[in-house]
């Protein structure tokens, strides 16, 4: 009978831990973290997200990020719109831990 509270505690901790892992999940592109989101087609958004998730090397990710920003700046200029600034560095997960701010 004394093992029952221990088992219950263990189950609760496992459920809580699994929820935290699932909440982080893979990176998802959205209006809040993608410059030019509103200028992209739904197909481009899916492709963009897949590309970001596929990078294994920092230099490839940064090259894509710069090219994507240039394209979005061009689209915004053609439409007479401002492109949002700031946001999350999509390549940050590829940097060595010591190099992260």
Q: Cα separation of 48 and 34, whole Å?
A: 9
72 pLDDT above the threshold of 60: yes
- 3-class secondary-structure state, position 54: helix
Tokens of 16: 């809580």
Domain ranges in the chain are 3-84
32-68 pLDDT per residue, tens: 778 899 999 999 999 999 998 899 999 999 999 999 9
| pTM of full prediction above 0.75 | no
The residue among 64, 45, 55 whose CA lies nearest residue 95 is 55
Rounded average pLDDT over 84-88: 74
CA dihedral of residues 46, 90, 15, 12 (deg, nearest 10): -150
3 pLDDT above the threshold of 70: no
């Amino acid at each position: 009978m004394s093992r029952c509270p221990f088992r219950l505690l263990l189950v609760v901790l496992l459920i809580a831990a699994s929820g935290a892992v699932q909440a982080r999940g893979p990176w998802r592109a959205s209006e809040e973290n993608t410059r030019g989101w509103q200028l992209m087609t739904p197909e481009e958004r899916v492709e963009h997200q897949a590309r970001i998730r596929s990078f294994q090397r920092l230099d490839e990710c940064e090259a894509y990020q710069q090219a994507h920003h240039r394209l979005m700046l061009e689209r915004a200029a053609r439409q007479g719109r401002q492109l949002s600034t700031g946001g999350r560095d999509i390549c940050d997960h590829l940097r060595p831990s010591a190099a992260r701010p």
